[in-house]
Amino acid sequence: MAGAAAGGLALAALPGLGGRSAEAAGLLTDRTAGAASAVANQGKSVTIALSAEPNTFDPHLTVGRNTQIFIANVFDGLTARDASANILPALATEWGFLGDGASWQFKLRSGVTFHNGDPFNAESAKFTIERAIDPATKSTISSELATIAGVDVVDASTIVVRTKQPDIMIPNRLSELYGGMLSPTHTMATDAAMLATKPNGTGPFMLTEWVKNERLVLQANPNYWRGPASISQITVRPILEDAARIAALQTGEVDFVANVPYERIAELEANPNLTVKTIATPRVFFIGIDPRVTPFNDVRVRQALNYAVDVDAIISALYLGHATRLATAVPTAAFGYDASVTPYPYDPPKAKELLAAAGYPNGFSVEFDSFTGSIADHSKPAEAIVEYLRQVGIDVKLNVFEFGAFGPRRVANQLSPLHIYSLGNAYFEPAWAIKWMMQQNLGLFYRNEEVYALCNQAEATFDPSARVPLYARVQQLLKDDAGFIFLFQNDAVFAMNKKVSYDPRADETQWLYPLTSA
């Protein structure tokens, strides 16, 4: 139910503006945790190892989640999230939907400065958002802000974001992933190479050194508006190879590592000097079914597929238990997640019965596309699923592509009737992900009109509490109509020595501000 509380507060003032800020309600606990112990930890330094380094520190040219979840340490968005993915104020102190149907007003924090001393104000916010959507920027994230038409400055600390259509997700979209704020004077006066490597944000850390593929050095911003971070210097080492990264933790070269493979968890947990922490990511795995192809136009066949696959066994065998079974495409941390909608049980006789009822007592033949070489492993779960489908009599031919070859097939709508895919729902708003999964493009051709209409309704419902029942209905319908084989969301695993303390976050962000060291 993440997002409910804070969203509710921020939006309470509908239809006008002036809602209480979530800050006043004491929701900033984990955000301010760092500042509380800041004095005690001044001068402390920590070394961490990640599996990748950012491609750039220009927030509008970021490629891939690995970059976006990291540069949040240098830039602030208008909003932020806590570790459970609730939306919190950041550079905006409060916000609300204006009654005209297509604009959001944000009140901006005053007294905030960029690392170089430039003031943050309404002009900075307008400049940043308009730069992100300007085609001349060739922004890689423009599609995330595509509903925005423009920004108006009301006064020095107030902006209005105009949208092309009503969009409840504007505060989500302008959080740290895609809403990192830039200084207009600095950005316009600086060339592209400098913007990529010498960022100037308002965030808790300043990038003071970047030796590519070797290390990034972050220094705590002494003037940070939340108070300086606990750790005054963080050295970040990108160590691509899992074995080398974990070895670096074991030898004490680094204090903290991300992306621990599941099969290494038991060994690291047995080490008395180390702590392992896991968290469910918002990455949801599913099997796309093309309902334009017989027999998948028959709901009984689609349900049979769901009954046929023992997802729990896949989770325990392939993920060693480090994944969470899902009934639909809505991850547990998403707003409006309904635990009362339970997943299909593993029931092969029931699957065969449904197949027979649909006129396929002896099954049928179908092709299934999977791929390797992407952010997560999709080919191993695909192999297991294929085996389960064969056991109920469906003759499945599995095609495994390299992701670079799978992608163009997907874009050209040349995928087989079954394909595996996953989606990291960065917004934790179900309507966004579900409508994406029903887009009638990119190999996704299932659409349930009732669900789609409910999602549209949710997207036009600015009172979060009123969206909850809509989403409950959506999840029940999604499950019953079985437009996909619903699978699971996987865990992210972090390991650290006992000296440091860090709680991983549901949104995958490597937000280092609350990191502390003994």
Partner 1 sequence: MTGYVVQRLLLALLVIWGVSIITFFLTFLSGDPAVLMLPPDATAERVAQFRREWGFDRPLIVQYGSFLLRAVQGDLGTSLRHGTPALPLIAERLPATFQLTLTAMVLAILLAIPLGVLSATQRGKIVDLLAMAVALLGQAVPNFWLAIMAILFFAVTLGWLPTSGRGTWLHVVMPAGVLATGLMALLTRITRSSMLEILSEDYVRTARAKGLPGWAVLTRHALRNALIPLVTVIGLQFGYILGGAVVVETVFTWPGVGLFTIQAITNRDYPVVQAAVLILSTAVVTINLLVDLLYGLLDPRIRVRG
Distance CA 256, CA 197 (A): 24
How many residues form the binding site for partner 1 (CB under 8 A)?
A: 48
Q: What's the gap between Cα 132 and its chain centre?
A: 19
- Smallest gap, in angstroms, from Cβ of residue 120 to partner 1? 24
| x/- track of binding to partner 1 for residues 479-498 (CB under 8 A) | --------------------
- Smallest gap, in angstroms, from Cβ of residue 405 to partner 1? 5
Nearer to partner 1, 1 or 274 (CB): 274
Nearer to partner 1, 410 or 505 (CB): 410
Residue 206 has, within 13 A of its CA and on its CB side, a CA count of: 15
- Smallest gap, in angstroms, from Cβ of residue 100 to partner 1? 27
Closest CA to 501 of 278, 265, 288, 255: 255
| x/- track of binding to partner 1 for residues 11-50 (CB under 8 A) | ----------------------------------------
124: left (phi over 0), alpha (psi -120 to 50) or beta: alpha
Q: Is 63 near partner 1 (CB under 8 A)?
A: yes
CA distances from 436 to 443, 446, 455 (A): 11, 11, 11
Closest CA to 348 of 356, 359, 337, 338: 356
- Smallest gap, in angstroms, from Cβ of residue 250 to partner 1? 5
- Smallest gap, in angstroms, from Cβ of residue 5 to partner 1? 27
- The DSSP bridge partners found for residue 467 are none
Nearer to partner 1, 361 or 408 (CB): 408
212: Cβ contacts below 8 Å, ≥ 6 apart: 53
Which residues in the 185-224 window bind partner 1 by CB under 8 A?
192-193, 196, 211-215
| Tokens linked to 28 | 């900033």
Distance CA 360, CA 366 (A): 13
* One of 405, 414, 450, 466 touching partner 1 (CB under 8 A): 405
Which residues in the 109-138 window bind partner 1 by CB under 8 A?
138
* Contacting range for partner 1; rule: CB under 8 A; set: 87-95, 200-208, 233-241, 357-365: 233-241
* One of 250, 379, 399, 456 touching partner 1 (CB under 8 A): 250
Distance CA 323, CA 1 (A): 19
Dihedral of CA atoms 91, 5, 102, 429 in degrees, nearest 10, equals: 100
CB 301 within 8 A of CB 295: yes
Share of the chain residues as helix, strand and coil, in percent rounded to the nearest 5 = 30, 25, 45
Q: Is 238 near partner 1 (CB under 8 A)?
A: yes
Nearer to partner 1, 136 or 339 (CB): 136
Q: Is 466 near partner 1 (CB under 8 A)?
A: no
CA distances from 490 to 159, 347, 359, 378 (A): 38, 23, 36, 11
67 φ, ψ to 5°?
A: -80, -50
- Smallest gap, in angstroms, from Cβ of residue 121 to partner 1? 27
Distance CA 396, CA 140 (A): 37
* Contacting range for partner 1; rule: CB under 8 A; set: 101-109, 235-243, 340-348, 485-493: 235-243
Q: Which amino acid is at 299?
A: V
* One of 39, 149, 244, 453 touching partner 1 (CB under 8 A): 244
Q: Is 340 near partner 1 (CB under 8 A)?
A: no
Closest CA to 85 of 2, 180, 7: 2
Residue with tokens 């437009």: 483
41: Cβ contacts below 8 Å, ≥ 6 apart: 230, 231, 232, 516, 517
For the chain, give the number of residues. 518
* One of 43, 189, 251, 339 touching partner 1 (CB under 8 A): 251
- Smallest gap, in angstroms, from Cβ of residue 167 to partner 1? 15
Q: Is 472 near partner 1 (CB under 8 A)?
A: no
* One of 25, 36, 156, 240 touching partner 1 (CB under 8 A): 240
* One of 15, 101, 117, 408 touching partner 1 (CB under 8 A): 408
- Smallest gap, in angstroms, from Cβ of residue 329 to partner 1? 13
Nearer to partner 1, 29 or 213 (CB): 213
Nearer to partner 1, 271 or 457 (CB): 271
**C-alpha R_g of the chain:** 24
Nearer to partner 1, 121 or 128 (CB): 128
Indicate the angle between helix axes 348-357 and 299-308, nearest 10 degrees: 160
Closest CA to 289 of 301, 274, 277: 301
Residue with tokens 């066994």: 313
Q: Which amino acid is at 225?
A: W
- Smallest gap, in angstroms, from Cβ of residue 3 to partner 1? 19
Q: Is 332 near partner 1 (CB under 8 A)?
A: no
| x/- track of binding to partner 1 for residues 429-448 (CB under 8 A) | -------x--x-xx------
Distance CA 429, CA 213 (A): 35
| x/- track of binding to partner 1 for residues 355-394 (CB under 8 A) | ------------------x---------------------
Nearer to partner 1, 87 or 249 (CB): 249
Could you list the residues that contact partner 1 (CB under 8 A)?
A: 55-56, 58, 61, 63-64, 138, 140-144, 192-193, 196, 211-215, 237-241, 243-245, 247-248, 250-251, 253, 373, 402-405, 407-408, 410-411, 423-424, 436, 439, 441-442
